[in-house]
């Protein structure tokens, strides 16, 4: 028999459970936590039948046949533990990222002076935690006043808050004649952060909101990016004078620079639908996988560049993370993304919660959407009509299979695809670039277009 788990026995560090009535436990009270099994009933029946026949036929050999049943049951029940098993689930680290190893430990303690014959442990585990043998019950013996530790090792497969537990433990005593009520350990929630998609955008932000930041703007001003050389004018700083050009031309010239600006990026996550089957970090991606990993990548990029990033969930919970910058905001974004989940509903999320007025006029709005729902397309169009700089990132997996069925299934699938293509075309007519997510450089082309548009007059701008 293989031994896939490592067991360690040590002194218990869990307090003994209090008696139910808070006083001395008698036979009835102690059996309140323990139940006889069918084996005890069988032992009683066999002993009774054998003794009856022994008396009836005056056969001492039948008493010998009954003796082990009676002795085994009597010894087992006489020396029975009373305390329930105490269980605890612990993990080496609750902060993980996708694909990283998980180290957990289940401890089952016996505070009773009499040992358990065995303890059956069942642990419920999230499908996104691949722990060795976690889908099977464990059976181990626990001696008196000791703790048995069971190490579970594996890896976290997908972002989110996967649960480890709850764990139930049933103790068996008296050679299988008594079984205890379950000792329960509550579930532990891990934090598995998404692996950040590599993302890089070289294009300038369409509109800046502040006078400091990491982006060169399209406006002249104080900054580090050289815009050209021009004649000196009142108000120019003396340190800006380009002495070489001034000597050559015999007139004062200054080096003109473009101002440095920061910007606000709003990531709008469409969580109305989940589509595709997630296979974890090493498998296929669902819509939410792409949405969360892409959001983490885009947020990391812009926060690293010094911009402010806000997040908004387009669904019925209307979760929102206000704009901020820096490393702390990046960690907050990752934590915020852990709770992203699909929110189905028949109604349209309130336009008051997702209207253009909720977003700064200068912000770049990146909508991560699978475009499976006309409600989401309408929301994007509203932002565009209001003059916001909107980029739609298509998060629908390209390899998602269309239905192939007899009858009208195939045709319906093709019609649905045509309808979706039509929606994308309409969004483009509204001036919303739609681009499929492809990691680094995904948004360069569309950001270039948005920046060009930002230089012109926006009819709906407020």
Partner 1 sequence: MSERSERQNRRDDAFSWIENLTDRVRRAAPGPMLVRGGVFLAALAAQLVAWPGAVVLGTPVLVLVVIAVLPALTPRSWLVTLAVLAAVLGWLASTTAYQEPLTYWRLILLAGLLYLLHNLAALAAVLPYDAVVSPGVLTGWLRRYGVVVLLTAAVAMFTRLLPTYLPGQRYLVASLVGLGLMVAVAAYLATLVRRR
Per-residue interface string for the shown chain with partner 1, residues 116-135, x marking contact by CB under 8 A: -xx-x-x----------x--
Closest approach, Cβ 96 to partner 1, in A, equals 25
Per-residue interface string for the shown chain with partner 1, residues 176-195, x marking contact by CB under 8 A: xx-x----------------
For the chain, the three-class secondary structure string (H helix, E strand, C coil) is CCCCCCEEEECCCCCCCCCCCCCCCCHHHHHCCEEECHHHHHHHHHHHHHHHHHHHHCCHHHHHHHHHHHHHHHHHHHCCCCCCCEEEEEECCCEEECCCEEEEEEEEEECCCCCEEEEEEEEEECCCEEECCCCCCEEEEECCCEEEEEEEEEEECCCECCEEEEEEEEEEECCCCEEECCEEECCEECEEECCCCCCCCCCCCCCCCCCCCCEEEEEEEEEEEEEEEEECCCCCCHHHECHHHHHHHCCCEEEEEEEEECCEEEEEEECCCCCCCCCCCCCCCCHHHHHHHHHHHHHHHHHHCCCEEEEEEECCCCCEEEEECCHHHHHHHHHHHCCCCCCCCCCCCCHHHHCHHHCCCCCEEEEEECCCCHHHHHHHHHHHHCCCEEEEEECCCCCCCCCCCCCCHHHHHHHHHHHHHHHHHHHHHCCCCEEECCCCCCCHHHHHHHHHHHHCCCCCCC
Closest approach, Cβ 366 to partner 1, in A, equals 46
Using the rule CB under 8 A, give the single segment among 59-67, 83-91, 248-256, 324-332 that binds partner 1. 59-67
Closest approach, Cβ 325 to partner 1, in A, equals 50
Closest approach, Cβ 310 to partner 1, in A, equals 48
Indicate the residue among 39 and 446 with the shorter CB distance to partner 1. 39
Under rule CB under 8 A, residue 172 binds partner 1 = yes
In the list 8, 20, 67, 425, the residue contacting partner 1 (rule: CB under 8 A) is: 67
In the list 70, 386, 424, 435, the residue contacting partner 1 (rule: CB under 8 A) is: 70
Q: Report the site for partner 1 in 6-25 (rule: CB under 8 A).
A: 7
Under rule CB under 8 A, residue 1 binds partner 1 = yes
Under rule CB under 8 A, residue 269 binds partner 1 = no
Using the rule CB under 8 A, give the single segment among 28-36, 207-215, 222-230, 292-300 that binds partner 1. 28-36
In the list 20, 45, 345, 422, the residue contacting partner 1 (rule: CB under 8 A) is: 45
In the list 8, 21, 55, 455, the residue contacting partner 1 (rule: CB under 8 A) is: 55
Q: Report the site for partner 1 in 385-424 (rule: CB under 8 A).
A: none
Closest approach, Cβ 74 to partner 1, in A, equals 5
Q: Report the site for partner 1 in 131-160 (rule: CB under 8 A).
A: 133, 136-141
Closest approach, Cβ 41 to partner 1, in A, equals 5
Query: Do residues 212 and 260 lie in contact, with contact meaning Cβ atoms separated by under 8 Å?
Result: yes
Those residues with Cβ within 8 angstroms of residue 87's Cβ, 6 or more apart along the chain or in another chain: 106, 107, 108, 109, 121, 167, 168, 169, 183, 184, 185
In the list 14, 19, 46, 230, the residue contacting partner 1 (rule: CB under 8 A) is: 46
In the list 8, 10, 13, 42, the residue contacting partner 1 (rule: CB under 8 A) is: 42
Under rule CB under 8 A, residue 39 binds partner 1 = yes
In the list 8, 21, 35, 277, the residue contacting partner 1 (rule: CB under 8 A) is: 35
Question: Tokens 């996550």 sit at which residue?
Answer: 269
Closest approach, Cβ 75 to partner 1, in A, equals 7
Indicate the residue among 37 and 358 with the shorter CB distance to partner 1. 37
Under rule CB under 8 A, residue 114 binds partner 1 = no
Indicate the residue among 80 and 207 with the shorter CB distance to partner 1. 80
Using the rule CB under 8 A, give the single segment among 54-62, 260-268, 313-321, 367-375 that binds partner 1. 54-62
In the list 12, 73, 107, 294, the residue contacting partner 1 (rule: CB under 8 A) is: 73
Those residues with Cβ within 8 angstroms of residue 124's Cβ, 6 or more apart along the chain or in another chain: 163, 165, 166, 167, 187
Under rule CB under 8 A, residue 4 binds partner 1 = yes
Residues in touch with partner 1 (CB under 8 A): 1-5, 7, 28, 31, 35-51, 53-55, 57, 60-77, 117-118, 120, 122, 133, 136-141, 170, 172, 175-177, 179
């Amino acid at each position: 028999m293989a031994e896939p788990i490592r067991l360690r026995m040590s002194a218990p560090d869990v307090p003994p459970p209090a008696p139910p009535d808070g006083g001395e436990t008698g036979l009835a009270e102690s059996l309140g936590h323990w139940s006889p099994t069918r084996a005890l009933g069988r032992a009683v029946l066999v002993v009774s039948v054998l003794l009856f026949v022994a008396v009836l036929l005056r056969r001492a050999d039948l008493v010998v046949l009954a003796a082990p049943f009676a002795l085994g049951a009597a010894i087992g029940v006489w020396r029975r533990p009373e305390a329930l098993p105490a269980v605890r689930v612990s993990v080496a680290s609750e902060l993980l990222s996708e694909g990283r190893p998980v180290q957990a430990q289940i401890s089952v303690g016996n505070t009773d002076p009499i040992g358990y014959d065995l303890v059956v442990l069942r642990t419920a585990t999230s499908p996104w935690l691949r722990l060795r043998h976690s889908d099977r019950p464990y059976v181990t013996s626990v001696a008196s006043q000791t703790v048995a530790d069971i190490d579970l090792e594996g890896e976290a497969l997908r972002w989110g808050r996967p649960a480890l537990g709850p764990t139930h433990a049933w103790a068996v005593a008296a050679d299988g004649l008594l079984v205890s009520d379950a000792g329960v350990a509550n579930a532990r929630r891990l934090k598995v952060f998404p692996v950040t998609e590599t993302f890089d955008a070289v294009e300038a932000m369409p509109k800046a909101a502040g006078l400091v930041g990491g982006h060169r703007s399209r406006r002249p001003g104080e900054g580090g990016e050289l815009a050209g050389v021009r004649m000196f004018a009142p108000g120019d700083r003396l340190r800006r004078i380009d002495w070489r050009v001034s000597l050559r031309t015999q007139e004062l010239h200054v080096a003109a620079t473009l101002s440095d600006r920061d910007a606000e990026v709003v990531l709008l996550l469409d969580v109305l639908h989940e589509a595709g089957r997630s296979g974890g970090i090493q498998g296929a991606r669902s819509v939410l996988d792409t949405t969360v990993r892409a959001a983490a990548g885009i947020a990391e990029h812009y926060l690293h560049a010094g911009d402010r990033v806000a997040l908004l969930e387009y669904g019925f919970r209307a979760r929102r993370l206000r704009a901020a910058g820096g490393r702390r905001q990046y960690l907050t974004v990752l934590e915020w993304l852990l709770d992203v989940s699909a929110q189905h509903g028949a109604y349209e999320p309130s336009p008051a919660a997702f209207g253009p007025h909720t977003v700064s006029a200068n912000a770049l709005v990146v909508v991560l959407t699978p475009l499976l729902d006309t409600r989401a397309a309408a929301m994007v169009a509203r932002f565009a009509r209001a003059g916001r700089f909107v980029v739609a990132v298509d998060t629908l997996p390209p390899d998602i299979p269309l239905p192939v069925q007899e009858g009208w299934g195939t045709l319906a699938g093709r019609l649905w695809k045509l309808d979706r293509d039509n929606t994308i075309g309409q969004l483009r007519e509204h001036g919303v670039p739609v681009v499929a997510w492809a990691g680094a450089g995904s948004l360069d082309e569309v950001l270039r277009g948005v920046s060009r548009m930002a230089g012109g007059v926006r009819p709906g701008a407020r």
